[in-house]
Amino acid sequence: MNSKLKVLYVSAECAPYIKVGGLGDVAGELPLKLKELGVDIRVVIPGNKDIDYPTQYKGDYPVNLGWRKETCIVREIVNAPVKTFIIDNYHYFGRQGVYGHNDDSERFALFCAAVYEMILRFDFMPDIVHLNDWHTAPVAMLLRENEREHGELSEISIVYTIHNLEYQGVSDRSVFNLFGVKDVVFKVDRVEYYGCFNPMKAGINYADIINAVSKTSAKEMLTPRFGFGLEGVLKNREPAIRGVLNGISQNKWDPRTDKYIYCNYAQNDMEGKKKNKKELRKELGLNDSDVPLFSVVSRLVPNKGLDLMEPAFEYILKNNNQLVILGSGERFYEKMFVELTEKYPGLVSVNIEFNEEKARKIYAGSDIFLMPSRYEPCGLSQLIAMRYGTVPVVHKTGGLADTVIDEASNKGSGTGFVFSKYSKDSFIRAIKKAINQYNDRDSWRQLVKRAMIKDYSWENSALEYLSIYREAKVMNTKRKSEGRILI
Ligand code: GLC
């Protein structure tokens, strides 16, 4: 007898095997927590040349892709803490880079079709299929549109997590045709979107529960400003929408044990943090003076608030404070930031790269972390910054609004500085407040401490996911009892 809840967690990336951004971290950490809570969970990701872990062959089968058949091979990562499967196909997945290929729509269509086949063929019939972002959403369509033929599929409940609504994977109808479902599915109430195929819509329309990665993001998604054209589709499914904040791994991000930082420290030993700052400055070639050191660790893409960063950086540097930037992305901004180095020598260090070791040193060695994202469904860096005692200055949106308490309006109980209006003036005002408090050493120390002890571990989030899984089952039962089995 095995009464464990069975979950198949489907994602385009999963740390540590292959990771591009926050989605990879979540896929690497949440399933592990769920396993600890007694869930029988398995993860499945597409193959990639960059995955450098030993695997074991589990089987192969042909997958229908339009008029063709593609052979997919299933491999399992050896000794993974959570059972993790890789679906391989030499042509589509034998490449480097998770995203950014011309045929991404087709690649992920094959992945979804292969996951669907895997569910039918493998000896693991999940109670819950948990899908993430547009890349995996069509699995929901395949499960529901084929349940007449395969009755057992109607027993599966579907949870769909939206990490980033902006990227929807919209493609032309030919990609839809690859799935071999009936033409009638290509309708506005299912997956059609202005004459195109929208995989994100498949997730939203077919899942039993849809969730965003913070409560605020779950609400924001329903508005034209943050709905990216899908606010109406989401509004139709409002009763099924939830929000669950992501956590961060407490072991992975811990200034007491982090091997990469200059010296370990804890909230009751802040000398260690000072030492990190001193060493970081030295390494980056910044002047040795006691001014606040601001930091940015981010992909340099528009939604991270690049347009507000430029004037804010000028403000910070003009006033002789210091700044370190780590990240890469838009060339225009990369160049602009590099130019600051010539204008303000000794005050700013610009590092156009992604380098985890450096990122950790920056989290540990800087004082104030800047994250003015235009929108941010959850955000992980502000959580890491707080854990390392680096006070965040953030825009009041999504997960930033839900995790940082504004010190200016909650004197003595805040954990950072939050600005509401997305404008350079309000961002700079928040920065000024941070500098003022930095100069009041005693209250700064208290603020740092509050940020450090705030608990954003996975425990609570994983419990919330368990209750979402339960709700998804209830919703699915209701759907079936109302005869809403699609034909
Ligand atoms: C996406 C979102 C980010 C979130 C991450 C993990 O990258 O943009 O806010 O933290 O997914 O859910």
Cα 199 to ligand 1 centre (Å) = 18
Asked if residue 277 lies in contact with residue 366, where contact means CB atoms within 8 angstroms, the answer is: yes
Cα 483 to ligand 1 centre (Å) = 36
CA distance to 131, 216, 286, 442, per residue, from 436 (Å): 45, 29, 22, 12
- Is the pLDDT at 487 greater than 50, yes or no? no
- Is the pLDDT at 289 greater than 50, yes or no? yes
The tens digit of pLDDT for each residue in 380-419 reads 999 999 999 999 999 999 999 999 999 999 999 999 999 9
Q: What is the mean pLDDT of the chain?
A: 96
Q: Is the dihedral of CA 452, 454, 457, 459 positive or negative?
A: positive
**Average pLDDT, integer, range 429-450:** 97
Q: Where are the domains of the chain?
A: 6-247+459-481, 270-455
The residues, any chain, with a CB within 8 Å of residue 446's CB and separated by 6 or more, are 412
Q: Which CATH number fits domain 6-247+459-481: 3.40.50.150, 3.40.50.2300, 3.40.50.2000, 3.40.50.300?
A: 3.40.50.2000
- What's the pLDDT at 1? 42
The tens digit of pLDDT for each residue in 9-21 reads 999 999 999 999 9
Instruction: Let me know if the fold of 6-247+459-481 is the same as that of 270-455.
Output: yes
- The atom of ligand 1 lying closest to the CA of 377 is 9
The tens digit of pLDDT for each residue in 125-141 reads 999 999 999 999 999 99
Tokens of 185: 């599915």
Cα 378 to ligand 1 centre (Å) = 5
Which residue is associated with the tokens 């780590």? 326
- The atom of ligand 1 lying closest to the CA of 399 is 9
Coil/strand/helix, residue 288: coil
The tens digit of pLDDT for each residue in 327-381 reads 999 999 999 999 999 999 999 999 999 899 999 999 999 999 999 999 999 999 9
Cα 214 to ligand 1 centre (Å) = 10
> At 2, is the pLDDT very low, low, confident or very high (cuts 50, 70, 90)?
low
Which residue is associated with the tokens 């007449």? 148
CA-proximal residue: ligand 1, atom 11 (nearest): 163
Distance CA 190, CA 173 (A): 13
Tell me the DSSP string of 117-155: HHHHHSS---SEEEEEHHHHTHHHHHHHHTTTTSGGGGG
- The atom of ligand 1 lying closest to the CA of 380 is 10
Share of the chain above pLDDT 90, in %: 96
* Torsion of Cα atoms, 293 then 441 then 419 then 266, to 10°: 70
CA-proximal residue: ligand 1, atom 5 (nearest): 22
Fold of 270-455: Rossmann fold (3.40.50)
Distance CA 90, CA 260 (A): 36
Comparing 92-96, 124-128, 299-303, the range with the smallest average pLDDT is 299-303
- The atom of ligand 1 lying closest to the CA of 376 is 9
- Is the pLDDT at 270 greater than 90, yes or no? no
The residues, any chain, with a CB within 8 Å of residue 97's CB and separated by 6 or more, are 48, 50
Flag whether the pTM goes above 0.75.
yes
Q: Which residues line ligand 1 (CB under 6 A)?
A: 21-23, 26, 163-164, 213, 246, 376-380, 399
- What's the pLDDT at 485? 57
Test site for ligand 1: of 19, 23, 374, most ligand atoms within 8 A of the Cβ? 23
